[in-house]
Amino acid sequence: MKLLRELFFPLVAVLAAFVLGGIFVWIIGDNPFETYRLLIGSAFSWPDGIGYTLFYATPLIFTGLAVAVAFRCGLLNIGAEGQLYVAAFATAWVGIKFGGTVVDVFGTPVNYSWVTLPAVLLVPLAIVTAIVAGAAWGAIPGVLKARFGSHEVINTIMLNFIAIALVSYFTQYHFKQAGDPILQTVPVGAGVHLPRLGSFIPGLPTRIPLNLAFLFALVACVLVYIFLWRTKWGYAIRATGANPTAAEYGGISTGKQIVLAMAVSGALAGMVAVNEVLGYRYRYYDGFSANYGFTGIAVALLGRNHPVGVLLSALLFGMLIRGGIFVDAFSGKVSKDLVEVLQAIVILFVACEALFRGSFGRFGLLKRSKV
Amino acid sequence: MTEIFTIALIFSTIRTATPLLLAALGGLYSERAGVINIALEGLMLAGAFTAAAVTHYAGSPWAGLLAGIGAGVLVAAIHAVACIRFNADQVVSGTAINILMTGVPAMLSGALFLSSGSTPQIPRDDLIPWTPVVLALLLVGVTWYVLYRTPFGLRLRAVGENPEAADAAGVNVNGVRYSAVLLSGALAAIGGAYLSIGQSSLFTRNMTSGRGFIALAALIFGKWRPVQTMLACLLFGFTEAISIQMQGVFKPWGEEIPVQFISIVPYVLTIVVLAGFIGLSRAPRALGIPYQKEK
């Protein structure tokens, strides 16, 4: 019953968003049913539909968890976007500097490395770099809030722009191959590539970029659950989020919890780099993130800031991103921007929970769940 | 030569500051009334798209501007209803509006103009390159007057600082907040319209490119006050203008200053001022807190 109650409201929000989105499609002059058939139907084909859906869901699981952890501490991390950019660049840097000889865009072998590390050392080093870089960038607004009381929302917004500008600078001026028309770094060494799941699963071709990072994302869901509900740090974070004054009275240093929650949040966002750099493009590509950080807010809200909910809503949004490509290609007037519209409406409905509580609340289906 | 350079730079500063100033003044009304408005970016986009599309069809930039304002008010109404009527988290609602407004104009321009997110070019004669600039500067004075010299301004500040006391004094707290948020939609939309039918001659996808957030930064840097906010907008406009002027000209150590370094100046300054290093920037006390009448 508890599960049903938890699931009921998000489902209503999604349904309401689809209805409104459908009306919008109809106003534009296209067939909503055909559009939704393209949008959702294309996600279930094997291997492409499912493979790509899971691939697109991977970064959203990480950013969704990132937003959820911060939210449990009473913080809104709008900075996942910046955190994942910093992490992606740092990860690529490790892959370039320790990855050994690579083949450049013109097909000639070049060695940019200081030393060539074997894959057993290099892969863990790159993953740790992603985590640490994300955590460090995430901790900045945490420290600013704990030390100076400045609002994390404004600071994370500002740090997003700073992060994007800085990594773009380093890419353009120091790590781009001369003559490459694309703003991207040189490739990382082959030793740091994560295997694609197609190498293990029969019937799944390796051209589909679904890789080991997806399994890491599933593990991260479990770890976040254990961290938040089975450790004393998680308890302190949730206590801070629920009632900072009471937590302070109970002997919890709320300032430390804010920094810790933001660092963990940033680390999770940083894991997007593992999927992107080590599993997909094998280099840092400027502007790669399709708003993963902001979609993470929708994922976390819809998933009620719980790892299981985050996983489910990340799969939903992964499906929509995959379907959006088909809508773009095969529908007359509707573009893949419909996905953004649906996403925004979902966020609005989830944020306006009171809207639904007014009419459904009296049946006792929607008692406000305490964070 | 140097003089022309200077005058050109002043004009270019004012022109780049204009959309920031209009959006920041919009944000000022909303935030002084206690409603966080990180939706400025989305409101600007609503204004920019509608103004360009209507100017294209109607052939009149004034019709376009009015329609743009209408669109801004309409989108702001969503934010207002979510935040005031349904007690939604104001940052979350603002984020949703921003995402919504990257999607909706792109979808509409795809359907109306069969383009991937832009409107057709508007003839040069149908542009309003200077009116919004003058308007923005005038509005600084108007906003100062309204805020500090009129009953509405007093109520606005009261509901942002101490809604309980304002309510006890007979002020309709949520009514004032509604008007403030709608007003912010109108002003941000003029800022957006200036981008599409003033500075350039069409709407392009995400053409605000973060200006709504720079406006928000200017508002905080200007300590939520009209004149200081204007100075902050001019400063941020200046950094953008000079980075354009300096390209290929100014080489302090034999090389250009990378444009990325100049572009982050507003953001860094905002973080610094918010942390209290350059004077204290204090937000309205009830900012972000929905007001519920005691029952």
Of B87, B116, B220, the CB nearest to A154: B220
Range of the domain at B101: 2-274
Which chain A residues are within 8 Å of B276, Cβ to Cβ? 148, 150
**In the predicted model, what is the mean pLDDT of residues A278-283?**
96
How many residue pairs from chains A and B have C-beta atoms closer than 8 A? 141
For a pLDDT cut of 70, what percent of chain B falls above it? 93
Name which of B190, B155, B150 is nearest B27 in CA terms.
B190
Supply the DSSP string of A217-284, one letter for each residue. Answer: HHHHHHHHHHHHHHSHHHHHHHHHHH-HHHHHHTT--HHHHHHHHHHHHHHHHHTHHIIIIIIIISS-
- Residue B180: give its domain's CATH number: 1.10.3470
CB contact under 8 A, B258 and A172: yes
Nearest CA in chain B to A157: B213
CA distance, residue A247 to nearest chain B CA (Å): 21
In a domain, B295, yes or no: no
B152-168 pLDDT, tens digit each: 999 999 999 999 999 99
In-domain check, residue B25: yes
Number of domains in chain B: 1
Greater confidence, B273 or B25?
B25
What's the DSSP call for residue A100? -
8-state DSSP, A285? B
B33 domain residue, yes or no: yes
Percent share of chain A, pLDDT over 90 = 76
Is A344's CB within 8 Å of B99's CB? yes
- Beta pairing partners, A211: A196
Question: What would the mean pLDDT of B243-252 be, rounded to a whole number?
Answer: 68
Are A173 and B258 inside 8 Å of each other by CB? Answer: yes
* CATH 1.10.3470 given to domain A2-363: yes
Domain residue ranges of chain A, discontinuous segments joined by +: 2-363
Asked whether the beta carbons of residue A150 and residue B217 sit closer than 8 angstroms, the reply is: no
- Are A337 and B260 an interchain contact pair (Cβ–Cβ within 8 Å)? no
A127 versus B118: the higher-pLDDT residue is A127
B289 within a domain of the structure (yes/no): no
Nearest-5° Cα angle at A342, A339 to A347:
125
Instruction: Report if residue B244 sits inside a domain.
Output: yes
Residue of A30, A154, A161 with shortest CB distance to B274: A154
Residue A362 confidence (pLDDT): 38
Compute the average pLDDT of residues A361-370: 37
Q: Is residue B286 part of a domain?
A: no
Residue B281 covered by a domain: no
Residue B61 lies in a domain: yes
Interchain CB distance below 8 Å, A301 and B92: yes
* A53 CA: distance to closest CA in chain B (Å): 21
pLDDT in tens, A84-122: 999 999 999 999 999 988 888 888 888 899 999 999 999
